[in-house]
Structure 1
Amino acid sequence: MSPSRPTLRTAVGTVSAAVLATSTLAGAPAANSAAPSPTTVAATQQHLAAKFPDVKFVDIEGDGGIILKANVFTPGDAVPGRRYPLIVLPTSWGMPQIEYVVQAKKLADAGYVVVGYNSRGFWQSGGQIETAGPPDIADASKVIDWALAHTAADPAKVGMGGVSYGAGISLLTSAFDKRVKAVAALSGWADLIDSIYSGRTQHQQAAALLGGAGALTGRPSPELKTILKDFLASDLAKEGDMLKWGAKRSPVTYLDRINANGAAIMLGNAWGDSLFPPNQYADFYEKLKGPKRLEFRPGDHATAEGLGLLGLPNDTWDHTKRWFDHYLKGADNGVDREAPVQLKSRSTGAYEGYKSWKDVPSGNRKIALNGTQQIRTDRDSGANGGTVFLSSLLDQFFRLPPMASIPLLPRSAAAVWQSERYTSAQHVRGTAKLHTTVTSTAGSGTGIAYLYDVGPLGVGKLVSHAPFTFHDKAPGQPFGVDLELFSTAYDVPAGHRLAVVVDSVDPLYIEHNPTGAKLAFSSPADDPSWVSVPVRD
């Protein structure tokens, strides 16, 4: 290795220090701006330029004339007059301009022109946070324009990718800019509403986290402030406005355009993603018509690819590079011949390949929700989905999901049903579904359904869960509820059983239960209640 090239250890240290420095400064933003001081930014860029000789820091004019702060990596052995594939990387929500420098450097060394830029409204880029609205899509096209005009980028070989916010912007841009031929959307969303408002239930911790990070590191637009305020206040009178706002920012809304443009799309997410649960990505994947790939791994939002941003070994980024190599460079690396659905089990850590999402389970096990159980709605039973990031990180690295003692759950606050004890391991793969009949003493209410792996001592490990909320129901009149739990890949050991728990309070969500209300769950003879658990034999 040439002395002028950064070692992996140096790269990790450089990026970590720079991210820490810029993030710390966000805690003391200047008036109407969360950007660090120009002196600090210049010092950080100078330090990075010393460690990464091929990087250039540039200003790119975005939509409406705002300035987007960007960095550019080009192949170190570039041949004059030769064109190279282009990869554009918009930054994640709240992340500084240097987020992708390590991966950008690796891609440039592999023969790509790479442009990473700070999304509008964040840090030093101009404008306000538009939450992947039309100005963000227009910005991405402007960045492509700039790269084609100022670098050796090949206009016929344009790719986009990114983590979280960058993933969403990349997918949306593929619907509106036909030049985008390949996308790697990591920890992103396809349906923004189904992500943070699934089951018509506000994901309280997720929305608060996004709002707080946006206010700390950027300049939220008035529209975003209003949407967040109405969302967290549970203002049902504004629900229609929120749904329209979310649909405008959801790639699934533009599915026909994405399919018509034909970009090769790779989707990656974590089983326990607190912001964008895997179901909405899986549904979107099944509807894509062009070249496609779906990868799910243990972890939480962006944790599966996070270590790769620091240069550590990371299969997510390795797979991303193979995707770009094939669809932008024409490399015959076999990625197009592999099973397009790649799932990493939470229990074994091993990959499993499938030809489609619907082919993941080979059957299902039904758990009958017999009898009638009634619960009060103003108590937390102790069953819950955990805490944003922390719980799924513990599951990812230590296989310690949220746990509860099933025998000790108060039956006044939690309805509980259990399967028989299984004589062989149950390989849960895919999306569990619940069907039941609910009778409420109030017109509105919220329930949260959990699926637990219960060992011999009665301790349950969370396999999956999902919330549901209803409004405008006639008190005392039964109605049906159909709910998809969040998709997963989990092995229930032989000798264990599965438990279904439904309660009404979970710190992850905003609940809509009036004080003193009660929920009853029944199983009419002509419409039995059940949970269907997908399994792979």
Structure 2
Amino acid sequence: MPNRVRGNRFTCRSLVVAASAALMSLTLAPTAAQGASVRESRPVYSYDNAIRESVWVDTRLDGDGDGRTDRVAVDIVRPREAAEQGRRIPVIMDASPYYACCGRGNESQRKTYDANGRPVQFPLYYDNYFVPRGYAFVAVDLAGTNRSDGCVDVGGRSDIQSAKAVVDWLNGRARGYTTRTGAVRARAGWSTGATGMIGKSYDGTIANGVAATGVRGLRTIVPIGAISSWYDYYFAKGAPLYDSGPEWLSDYVESPEARARCGAVQQRLVDEAPRSGDLTGLWAERDYVPDAGRVTASVFAVHGMQDLNVRTKHFGQWWDALAAQGVDRKIWLSQTGHVDPFDFRRGEWVSTLHRWFDHYLLGYDNGIDREPMADIERAPDRWSTDRVWPPRSTTATSLRPGSGTAAGVGTLTLRPARPGTTETFTDDPRLDETDWAAAVDTPTPAKAGFITEPLTRELRLSGSARVTVTATASTSSAHLSAVLVDLGPDTIRDYAASGEGITTLAERTCWGASTAGDSSCFKETRARTTTVGHTIFSRGWADLGNHASDAHGRPLTPGRPYTISLDLHASDHVVPAGHRLALIVAGTDRDLIDPPPSVPRLTLDLARTAAHLPIVGGTPAFVRATAGSPEALGPRESRLGGVAEPRPIRPIPGGSIR
């Protein structure tokens, strides 16, 4: 049947485009075993012969105040054959502050250059694997780092514009130059404009921030262990999480040249980020969650559920905001700490990422958008999937603490305690959550524990939780911690050890093509495990002085009760039958929050304290798991919107955010 060009509104140009797409489809053909509608990009281009070049893109900002707009260095590797054929290609981009100071990946790879300044080594495997498959890889030095102008502002306007300007340049909306100071223009006529951003930690954070601008051309982001709000990296509702602020991280990653000229920016990071924990305008600028409605890119998030550096609150609040906006999304949750999936599930990760980029950047109908939304590690190297995450039956179920037969060892049920029931503890900054959990069945002065009976069926918690506490302090300041604990033996990834759940081996495997200066072969890893008697799987902190406002704290009146909610970090954990679920409330969680100026004694009003937990199956599931009675259901549950024993190692801002 002949084409009815006019009826189908085909033009000569559209026919040429269609023919080009068909030719590309044949060049990058699927295997015979795949269905006709499933396509996969293939390594048909030479990596050794690829074009390697540097461009400096104008950010249109003058962050260092030198009177000229800043240019950021953009190192590019792309297939030469596609360029010679006039074929435009999509871009995979990793924008990072770490390419010179600290390195990327498990082997801390840095960028290297030849004698003429042309890029030789691109860290990680993205270039080796994807360039032969018809992608360009672009590695951006954030402003103030490596070969870029400007200053590091730790997630602020300059950081985000550093990468956004490159997306604009790839789409013909910004100016690029062949040198850092010259006037010769560089254009990205070789690019389709379709861009996918990827990166771990700070790099993934930049991807979140750029997506939140709604920039056109950004088709997908893959944030790995990424921050969604910089305030929540340094504070938890007023409680300080580190003994330094963003100025330390800025100084850590800046180039020596930038450090000499960026004193004013550094001082702003001190002056506008007070250690009081007040939510200033500086933090509002670095909170990407309120702008989730601008996100047009799909999101493939990856996070370690035991990441005590970039804690899981970051992906939880970002995920919920994206879900409310209907953003296309996918998630992997591992048992590791701050670890890249290339180092805990390598083969499956590379295959999945390949199909994800093929779909969102090349437009291939390979079915990945119809696969289960979530992959969750249930035990070391044992994974399950969920069609939707959290599961649709997940509901916020209120569990209530009650007094037990011994002081500080109470119950956790659906029934509220009688008015006037209290538990008391004294903050002990020498102890942490692992100390509390180990002594949960013992009256100890530094914590209050509340425990279910042994479960008769498994109980799954999936998503973000909240604990509302009414407490009276003996001093004018007090910090609070709340943790959820699975009491029972298990074998888990040893997230608190060096490697945060992985052991790096000497053997290497190769993922793509190599050159003399850029190998595609990386050290293998295996799960590092430990046997435990209990597992802490969610935690949260707050300064009681922030009871009236998330934005500002105030001194407490000793002897007066205050009510505050602690956000417990998102997780997905199954408490097996025979185990018990525990809620522990205490003061300073050593090495995870800083202690208050004084050591308070705190009294909990149990009748006005509750844990609102995301239980799959809701209250009926809890009743079945505890063999309870339906008559004791308590207050009506509400549906969620939208959808260890090891001693934690102390995270270091900047150093371990990598």
CA shift digits 1:163-209 (9 cap, x unpaired): 2222222233232521222222222222222343223222217x679
3-state secondary structure, aligned to 2:91:
strand
Aligned residue runs from structure 1 range 134-173, under 5 A: 134-144=157-167, 146-147=169-170, 150-151=187-188, 153-173=190-210
What's 2:22 paired with?
Answer: none
Q: Which amino acid aligns with 1:532?
A: L
What's 2:224 paired with?
Answer: 186
Shift of 1:440: 1.1
The 8 Å contact of residues 445 and 511 in structure 1, kept in 2 or not, is answered as: no
Matched, 1:130 2:153: yes
What's 1:54 paired with?
Answer: 50
Out of 485, 501, 508, the residue aligned to residue 568 of structure 2 is 485
Distance in 2 separating the partners of 1:314 and 1:451 = 33
Out of 139, 142, 149, the residue aligned to residue 116 of structure 1 is 139
Aligned residues: 457
Matched, 1:320 2:353: yes
Distance in 2 separating the partners of 1:109 and 1:210 = 40
1:141/1:363 CA distance change after superposition, 3 Å: closer
The percentage of aligned residue pairs carrying the same residue is: 20
With the length of structure 1 as denominator, give the TM-score of the two structures.
Answer: 0.74
1:356/1:459 CA distance change after superposition, 3 Å: closer
Aligned residue runs from structure 1 range 196-345, under 5 A: 196-204=234-242, 211=248, 214-215=251-252, 218=255, 219=258, 221-222=262-263, 225-226=266-267, 229=270, 234-235=275-276, 239-240=278-279, 243-258=280-295, 262-273=296-307, 274-277=309-312, 278-301=315-338, 303-305=339-341, 307=343, 313-345=346-378
What's 1:75 paired with?
Answer: 79
Shift of 1:363: 7.2
Matched, 1:468 2:542: yes
Shift of 1:244: 1.5
Shift of 1:522: 1.8
3-state secondary structure, aligned to 2:369:
coil
1:214/1:344 CA distance change after superposition, 3 Å: farther
Say which one has the larger Rg.
2
* Structure 2: runs of 5 or more not aligned: 1-45, 63-68, 104-109, 112-120, 172-185, 404-420, 491-531, 546-553, 622-658
The 8 Å contact of residues 47 and 79 in structure 2, kept in 1 or not, is answered as: no
Q: Which amino acid aligns with 2:430?
A: D
Distance in 1 separating the partners of 2:289 and 2:361 = 24
Worse-matched range after superposition: 111-120 or 179-188: 179-188
* Structure 1: runs of 5 or more not aligned: 1-49, 386-401
Distance in 1 separating the partners of 2:165 and 2:236 = 34
The 8 Å contact of residues 158 and 179 in structure 1, kept in 2 or not, is answered as: yes
Matched, 1:404 2:438: yes
3-state secondary structure, aligned to 1:339:
coil
1:151/1:440 CA distance change after superposition, 3 Å: same
Shift of 1:438: 0.9
The 8 Å contact of residues 201 and 310 in structure 2, kept in 1 or not, is answered as: no
Shift of 1:514: 4.2
The 8 Å contact of residues 307 and 313 in structure 1, kept in 2 or not, is answered as: yes
CA shift digits 1:16-67 (9 cap, x unpaired): xxxxxxxxxxxxxxxxxxxxxxxxxxxxxxxxxx995526141423425445
**Bigger relative contact order, structure 1 or 2 (CA pairs below 8 A, ≥6 apart):** 2
What's 2:504 paired with?
Answer: none
3-state secondary structure, aligned to 2:583:
strand
Matched, 1:377 2:433: no
Distance in 1 separating the partners of 2:48 and 2:393 = 43
1:297/1:209 CA distance change after superposition, 3 Å: farther
The 8 Å contact of residues 189 and 280 in structure 1, kept in 2 or not, is answered as: no
Matched, 1:518 2:607: no
Distance in 2 separating the partners of 1:270 and 1:130 = 26
Q: Which amino acid aligns with 1:520?
A: T
What's 2:647 paired with?
Answer: none
The 8 Å contact of residues 94 and 203 in structure 2, kept in 1 or not, is answered as: yes
Distance in 1 separating the partners of 2:153 and 2:160 = 10
1:153/1:322 CA distance change after superposition, 3 Å: farther
CA shift digits 1:392-430 (9 cap, x unpaired): xxxxxxxxxx9634345x621111221111123333322
Aligned residues: CA RMSD: 3.5
Q: Which amino acid aligns with 1:463?
A: F
Shift of 1:293: 2.5
Distance in 2 separating the partners of 1:416 and 1:99 = 50
Q: Which amino acid aligns with 1:72?
A: I
Out of 500, 508, 516, the residue aligned to residue 583 of structure 2 is 500
Distance in 2 separating the partners of 1:507 and 1:140 = 37
Which has the larger share of helix?
1
Shift of 1:299: 1.8
Shift of 1:498: 1.9
Shift of 1:317: 4.5
Distance in 2 separating the partners of 1:529 and 1:61 = 52
3-state secondary structure, aligned to 1:432:
strand
1:70/1:350 CA distance change after superposition, 3 Å: same
The 8 Å contact of residues 429 and 487 in structure 1, kept in 2 or not, is answered as: yes
CA shift digits 1:271-314 (9 cap, x unpaired): 1222242322332332333323233222223x133538xxx825
The 8 Å contact of residues 202 and 232 in structure 1, kept in 2 or not, is answered as: no
What's 2:12 paired with?
Answer: none
Distance in 2 separating the partners of 1:265 and 1:108 = 22
Out of 423, 444, 462, the residue aligned to residue 429 of structure 1 is 462
Distance in 2 separating the partners of 1:456 and 1:338 = 33
Q: Which amino acid aligns with 2:226?
A: G
1:99/1:361 CA distance change after superposition, 3 Å: farther
Distance in 2 separating the partners of 1:62 and 1:344 = 43
3-state secondary structure, aligned to 2:152:
coil
1:305/1:341 CA distance change after superposition, 3 Å: closer
Worse-matched range after superposition: 279-288 or 51-60: 51-60
The 8 Å contact of residues 453 and 498 in structure 1, kept in 2 or not, is answered as: yes
The 8 Å contact of residues 196 and 276 in structure 1, kept in 2 or not, is answered as: no
Which has the larger share of strand?
2
CA shift digits 1:491-520 (9 cap, x unpaired): 323222122222212233444534342111
